[in-house]
Amino acid sequence: MDRGGAQVIPRPRVWRPGEPAPWAELAASARQPTLADVRAAFVDAPPPKPWTGPPGDGRRTSAVLAALYERNGLAEVLLTRRSQNLRAHKGEVSFPGGRSEPEDADAIATALREAREEVNLDTTGIEIIGELDHLATFSSGASIVPVVGLLNAPPTGLVAEPGEVDAILSVTLAELAEPAYFREEIWRFPDGQDRSINFYEVVGDTIWGATARMLRQLLAMVLGVDAGPGPGSASLTP
């Protein structure tokens, strides 16, 4: 099956190619992270940068869950392909997640609840090891909190919620860290600012936008390289 998918990429008129992957110079043997490598990367990690940009349009803060586990000695991450029936970001690859609800105690509660609702993930015993930098989509300005959790085994019994998820996906961090499958583009946004947009070409799908930016930071942390212009306090994504 070919790499890349049918996602609609709203590339602006003004754009240019970006830089290679931050981990492009690493040997292939150094780009095979295990779950232990992921856990170790968060032991002394600095606190996540909060979103400090302009407020959104009244929408509640959202949270997503980067759920990782190990299979055949390699760390994998759980992803979804969003339903084509959704109003926003239809058909895009994303982490399970969504808007916070009044009953959610915090972002972790939101991320876990959404993962249960969207893919029937058993979150019992999941080990929350931290958060990535908070970010926002350009269209809303509403912040997204990426929560990182570890599972002690590959998940079973996953079921896609048909109103929100078209497919449940899994990809190893080693595949995402293959330099040939990554690219960066610099887009000129309507506010006149140039911003880094990341893409991962996986089998059957293109991962881009907010999910790709979060994966860039996660991979850089785990592989021990500088993420460069990844998500941060001033990061907006399409």
User: Over the chain, what is the mean pLDDT?
Assistant: 89
Mean pLDDT, residues 127-151 taken together: 87
Give the residue carrying structure tokens 């961090």: 173
Residue 189's pLDDT is: 87
Which of 3, 1, 2, 6 shows the shortest CA–CA distance to 183?
3
* Tokens, residue 19: 């830089």
Start-to-end Cα distance in the chain? 27
- Contacting residues for 204 by C-beta, under 8 A, at least 6 apart: 1, 2, 3, 4, 5
Q: How do residues 3-44 score in pLDDT, each as one tens digit?
A: 988 888 999 999 999 999 999 999 999 999 999 999 999 998
Looking at the structure, give the CATH architecture of the domain made up of residues 33-174+206-237: Alpha-Beta Complex (3.90)
Give the model's pLDDT for residue 231: 40
Provide mean pLDDT across the span 152-174: 95
For 170-218, what is each residue's pLDDT tens digit?
999 999 999 999 999 999 988 888 999 999 999 999 999 999 999 999 9
- pLDDT score, position 228: 76
> For the residues 111-121, what does the mean pLDDT come to?
98
Amino acid 52: pLDDT: 72
Whether the pTM exceeds 0.75: the reply is yes
User: What's residue 164's pLDDT?
Assistant: 86
Per-domain residue ranges of the chain? 33-174+206-237
Per-residue confidence band for 53, with pLDDT thresholds at 50, 70 and 90: low
91: left (phi over 0), alpha (psi -120 to 50) or beta: left
Sheet holding 182-188, edge to edge: 15-17, 182-188, 194-202, 205-208
